[in-house]
Amino acid sequence: MDLDLPFLPFLPRRRPAAADPTLPLARNATLALRLPRGARIAVGAGRVWLTERGDLDDHFIDAGGQHVVQRAGPVVLQGESALPARIRVTRAEPGPRHDAVAHSPAPKFKKREGSGSAGPEPNTPSGERRR
């Protein structure tokens, strides 16, 4: 059976409501995450205890604070405040490629009037001339 459906103009799609990108962490609740080096953990509310593999220090992060993961691997978080803590984890932004070389522009020297010289030589203390 063939049905002829009338053409309906394109209707814009509704965007789904944005989900809350933060994670709740109740008092004494723990959360273990495997994170890459450079990931950022931000605490929006409450207080969180944090430890990561290879770091002998424990870190307490209060609301408004953040911690950058120093080593890839497991990170353990625990809620430390009476009200649930809210945490947000963002991945590290990709850095420059390893084969990229940073170059700085060559220094420019102005010619001194009347002396005929081009000014101090680069990489010499106080403009001493190389011999």
Taking CA atoms, 98 is separated from 67, 71, 94, 95, 102, in Å, by 25, 18, 11, 9, 10
User: Would you call 52 exposed, middle or buried from its count of C-beta atoms within 10 A (0-12, 13-18, 19+)?
Assistant: buried
List the one residue out of 106, 112, 109 whose CA is nearest residue 121. Answer: 109
Domains and CATH numbers, the chain: 23-90 (2.60.120.10)
Q: Has this prediction a pTM greater than 0.75?
A: no
pLDDT digits (tens, 9 = 90+) for 69-117: 999 999 999 999 999 999 999 987 665 544 444 444 555 556 666 655 5
Entry field: residues in the chain: 131
